[in-house]
Amino acid sequence: MAVPNAVAGAYTCTYNGLACGQTEQGFRLSHSFFKRIITGDAMAQTPQDAVYQGAEMNLAMNLIEFKAAAAYTIMWPYGAYLQTGVVGRLDGVSGLTKQIVLTAVAGTPASAAPASMTFPETILSEGFPVELLLAPDLRIVPLRMRIYPYSATNQYDGSAIFGIKT
């Protein structure tokens, strides 16, 4: 039996305008919401309500083409490769975040759902262990990107966006 409304299709990726190459399985976009759970003595630890306190988004990928310009820029955002960079810099204010654009390959069912996604403020996720295989085997580079919200006007008015889909 056919699966109605199934969508499949490859996407290409650029990071700061640099082609990232093929991935092992595509891109995994994830998000989580933060809430302050409200409990009280009438119901002990039973959640009674919650205060929404924001969200976070991440994009995971396993590169299988080692396009050095993009890979090194993504893997080492704080300075030249293998240099510590300036400690104490802020990701966004210091201009370290870069844009990721995912574009569906034309002619695939994915080409309209969505055709493209642009994330203006991304950087390698904190604490993510980047592993670079140096061996006579396929060099798979696992990456996880933090996507910061972006606002051209005021980050406090609810207009900040993580990305744009078309």
Q: Could you report the per-residue pLDDT of 125-138, keeping only the tens digit for each? A: 999 999 988 999 99
Q: How confident is the model at residue 8 (pLDDT cuts 50, 70, 90)?
A: confident
**58 touches 142 (CB < 8 A):** no
**11 touches 26 (CB < 8 A):** yes
Residue 1 within any structural domain of the chain: no
Average pLDDT of the chain, as a whole number: 92
**75 touches 61 (CB < 8 A):** no
**91 touches 125 (CB < 8 A):** no
Residue 3 within any structural domain of the chain: no
pLDDT score at 155: 66
Mean pLDDT over 12-39 rounds to 97
Mean pLDDT over 24-37 rounds to 97
Structure tokens at 118: 């642009």
Residue 98 within any structural domain of the chain: yes
Note down the domain range covering 72: 11-165
pLDDT score at 1: 67
Q: Look at the chain and report how many structural domains it folds into.
A: 1
Q: Does the pLDDT at position 19 exceed 80?
A: yes
User: Quick one: which H or E segment has residue 75?
Assistant: helix 68-75
pLDDT score at 6: 80
Residue 69 within any structural domain of the chain: yes
Residue 31 within any structural domain of the chain: yes
Cβ atoms within 10 Å, residue 13: 21
Q: Which of 144, 68, 132, 56 is nearest to 100 (CA)?
A: 144
